[in-house]
Amino acid sequence: MTLLVLIGLTLLGLFLYTLFVAKRIELGMPPEGSFITIMGNRIHYVEQGSGPDTILLIHGLTGVVQNFGYGLIDELAKTHRVIAIDRPGSGYSVRPDSASASLTVQADVVAGVIDALHLGKPLLVGHSLGGAVSLATGLRHPDKVRGLALIAPLTHMPSHVSDAFAALTIRYNWLRKLVGWTLAVPLSIRKREQVLGVVFGPEQAPKDFPIRGGGLLGLRPSHFIAASRDLTALEEVLPQMQQRYDDLQLPIGILYGRDDRILDPQEQGQTLADRLDNVELTLIEGGHMLPITQPEACLTFIRARLQAIPAAA
């Protein structure tokens, strides 16, 4: 009985600490954009600029819209209409427990955003897992997409999961919620330097990443739970997607850092470029978080894709 009481008090303490941290973060970093409901998902999005071309930015696993805030949104918005979304469950977007986290459903949500916001046929810019969502959207809704500009994208089932995301591989929803509301936040704070070293390496995470890059928004149980669902749902759809890549007729550009420590550029980038004639792969020196560490290179890449699309089409 004493042991059960101690365990209960420990869990209660961890829950209250997690709640305190999450509320402080949300008070200090309120939503910056607007909301729209698509297929039961309350999607948070940021919109800037206007112009003949529309660009839709989709972040990666554990990411948020602020990941594109190191110049990408502001610079692109000078000449284009730019929309960046928090994927379902990430950032300030809300995904119901009953909604699927599969790539196909996320692709349908993206298509719903395109229709609801009257985006026409945007260029999809997907980073990491956002690249897989972009590919799924191109496969399921090719009539709604002008082209794909993928930055360090997930294109194939990885041969292994990075140690930085090992804690997300929980398959039971009850356990996912228990860990999310007790251990996930304090452990993330304790291991933040180690995790950031893997995610950003060999480059350094900017000192202002917690605020400007939205890093602190990841220290909330809802974010952990959503990311875990995203990761474990990949095997439901991604292998089948890989078999259908020959159906992709859209012009596709891929930008990868040669020293990426999260995804293998050969496995994820070169493999797709070797398979499809409509894929152009660009390799640069750098790691996985290129939208944050090398925004200028990403801007050059995106603008080049916009210029290449008319000729390719």
Percent of the chain with pLDDT strictly greater than 70: 99
pLDDT digits (tens, 9 = 90+) for 176-205: 999 999 999 999 999 989 999 999 999 999
**CA–CA distance, 57 with 44 (Å, rounded to integer):** 12
Question: Distances from the Cα of 27 to the Cαs of 8, 88, 297, in angstroms?
Answer: 28, 21, 34
Compute the average pLDDT of residues 91-116. 96
Task: Judge whether residue 27 has pLDDT over 60.
Answer: yes
* DSSP string for residues in 168-181: G----HHHHHHHHT
Which residue, among 131, 154, 159, 128, has the nearest Cα to 289 in the 3D structure?
128
Q: Is residue 203 part of a domain?
A: yes
Confidence at residue 52, expressed as pLDDT on a 0 to 100 scale: 86
Q: Is residue 152 part of a domain?
A: yes
Confidence at residue 13, expressed as pLDDT on a 0 to 100 scale: 92
Q: Is residue 156 part of a domain?
A: yes
pLDDT band at 120 (very low <50, low <70, confident <90, very high): very high
Q: Is residue 178 part of a domain?
A: yes
Confidence at residue 109, expressed as pLDDT on a 0 to 100 scale: 98
Tokens 């894709």 sit on residue: 305
**CB contact at 8 A, 5 and 11:** no
Max CA pair span of the chain: 73
Torsions phi, psi for 249 (to 5 deg)? -105, -5
**CA–CA distance, 4 with 89 (Å, rounded to integer):** 33
Confidence at residue 31, expressed as pLDDT on a 0 to 100 scale: 94
Confidence at residue 310, expressed as pLDDT on a 0 to 100 scale: 64
How many domains does the chain contain in total? 1
In 39-141, which ranges are E strands?
41-48, 54-58, 81-85, 123-127
**CA–CA distance, 13 with 15 (Å, rounded to integer):** 5
**CA–CA distance, 205 with 197 (Å, rounded to integer):** 8
Domain of residue 265, residue span: 29-312
* Contacts of 143 by beta carbon, 8 Å cutoff, 6+ apart: 121
Q: Is residue 20 part of a domain?
A: no
State the average pLDDT for the chain. Answer: 94
Q: Is residue 94 part of a domain?
A: yes
Q: What is the CATH number of the domain that holds 294?
A: 3.40.50.1820
Burial 97-131 (b: 16+ CB within 10 A, else e): eebbbbbbbbbbbbbbbbeebebebbbbbbbbbbb
**CB contact at 8 A, 87 and 308:** no
Burial 176-210 (b: 16+ CB within 10 A, else e): bbbbbbbebbeebeeeeeebbbebbbebebbeebb
Q: Is residue 9 part of a domain?
A: no
pLDDT digits (tens, 9 = 90+) for 52-103: 889 999 999 999 999 999 989 999 999 999 999 999 999 999 999 999 999 9
Compute the average pLDDT of residues 293-311. 90
pLDDT digits (tens, 9 = 90+) for 200-253: 999 999 999 999 999 999 999 999 999 999 999 999 999 999 999 999 999 999
